[in-house]
Amino acid sequence: MILLKKANDLRNYIDSQRKNGKPIGFIPTMGALHQGHISLIEAAKSRNQLTVCSIFVNPTQFNDPSDFEKYPVTTDTDIAQLLAAGNDVLFLPELDEIYPAGIKPIRIYELGELETILEGKYRPGHFQGVCQVVHRLLDIVQPDLLFLGQKDYQQCMVISRLIELTGYADRITIQVCPTLREKDGLAMSSRNRRLSVKDRHTATTIFRTLSFIQQHLRPGDLTALHNKAVAALSAAGFRVDYVSISDARTLHPCTDWDGQQQLVALVAAFLDEVRLIDNLPLTNAIAASR
Ligand code: PAF
């Protein structure tokens, strides 16, 4: 594996590989890697890509400064995992390599309703920060395939929109890969390692609640089902930001289901100060696949 810290060095290396006919598969991350990230590397390798993984904890997407400060940094074990997975290139930039002119945004991305609902509502500015860093990374890497995890369902949709907004739609294909779960159903996440033993146990309620919604979904008014899900999480000790049964392609909440509309259930909730998100497609659509 080649480790590069400078954007120019990465660009030059990728150009040389592209000339050799290698398609470029890009996996952007903020480190604290787990098997979910590694599954993205594996998906890229299985499609014969030169795998480029970036690790950069992007300050501009944290609406809560203490969340940024507490974000786990585990570079040595990340590198070991990437080596074991056979990753080809690791991009490990410093802040000024990503933001040479400073972190102040130079562009507002028109994300429409995606910016005001669910994560957009509870994490104001978050998706602008995600767009800012992913745009910069795409400019540097210029991948053919971009690998994203379905766990960040709304982020996949935002990045899909970013690709349209920035004119990359003809050149970059997004590959959304399934959420990886622990044996007890908890979605793998870098934040899980911040949970206490007790909260780690309680956290499994999220997947049980999503499964409950899936099992009890029937055409008609969804209010009672939604309320039961919120109540189950609250009773387990969560501080719930939202539970939403949403249109799988727009994320607009659905309150009355016609039995046809493609749906996804999404949850964001705190245990102590750790915010967890998860989702479960209730029908068979994965909205962000392009
Ligand atoms: O999902 C993440 O880890 C981050 O939001 C991303 C896409 C790497 C941008 O910083």
The Å distance, Cα 71 to ligand 1 centre, comes to 12
Instruction: List Cα–Cα distances, 143 to 44, 63, 175, 176, 275, in angstroms.
Output: 11, 28, 12, 15, 31
The Å distance, Cα 216 to ligand 1 centre, comes to 33
Query: Closest residue (by CA) to atom 1 of ligand 1?
Result: 29
Q: Residue 84: is its pLDDT beyond 60?
A: yes
Other beta carbons within 10 angstroms of residue 77's beta carbon come to 11
pLDDT of 38 reads 98
The residues spanned by each domain of the chain are 2-177, 190-281
Lining ligand 1 with CB less than 6 A are 28-30, 58, 61, 130, 133-134, 152, 155
- Look at 25-34, 82-91, 276-285 and tell me which has the smallest mean pLDDT: 276-285
Q: Residue 288: is its pLDDT beyond 80?
A: no
The residues that are catalytic are: 37
Query: Closest residue (by CA) to atom 6 of ligand 1?
Result: 29
Cα distance between residue 268 and residue 78, in whole Å: 26
DSSP symbol at 181: B
Nearest atom of ligand 1 to the alpha carbon of 152: 1
Nearest atom of ligand 1 to the alpha carbon of 56: 10
Compute φ and ψ for 283, nearest 5 degrees.
-120, -165
Domain 2-177 has CATH 2.40.160.50: no
Of 58, 127, 176, the one to substitute when testing ligand 1's pocket (max ligand atoms within 8 A of C-beta) is 58
Q: Residue 289: is its pLDDT beyond 70?
A: no
Cα distance between residue 97 and residue 105, in whole Å: 15
Cα distance between residue 80 and residue 228, in whole Å: 43
pLDDT tens per residue, range 172-224: 999 999 999 999 999 999 999 999 999 999 999 999 999 999 999 999 999 99
CATH class of 190-281: alpha beta
pLDDT tens per residue, range 64-77: 999 999 999 999 99
Q: Residue 29: is its pLDDT beyond 90?
A: yes
Of 95, 152, 189, the one to substitute when testing ligand 1's pocket (max ligand atoms within 8 A of C-beta) is 152
| Helix residue spans in 65-184 (DSSP H) | 65-70, 75-85, 95-98, 119-122, 126-141, 153-165
Cα distance between residue 6 and residue 219, in whole Å: 53
pLDDT of 283 reads 85
pLDDT of 286 reads 44
Nearest atom of ligand 1 to the alpha carbon of 30: 3
The Å distance, Cα 181 to ligand 1 centre, comes to 19
Segment 14-43 mean pLDDT: 97
The Å distance, Cα 262 to ligand 1 centre, comes to 26
Q: Residue 287: is its pLDDT beyond 80?
A: no
The Å distance, Cα 130 to ligand 1 centre, comes to 7
Nearest atom of ligand 1 to the alpha carbon of 130: 9
Query: Closest residue (by CA) to atom 3 of ligand 1?
Result: 29
Q: Give the residue from 275, 266, 213, 208 showing the smallest Cα distance to 238.
A: 275
Query: Closest residue (by CA) to atom 9 of ligand 1?
Result: 130
pLDDT tens per residue, range 227-269: 999 999 999 999 999 999 999 999 999 999 999 999 999 999 9
The tokens of 267 are what?
């949850």
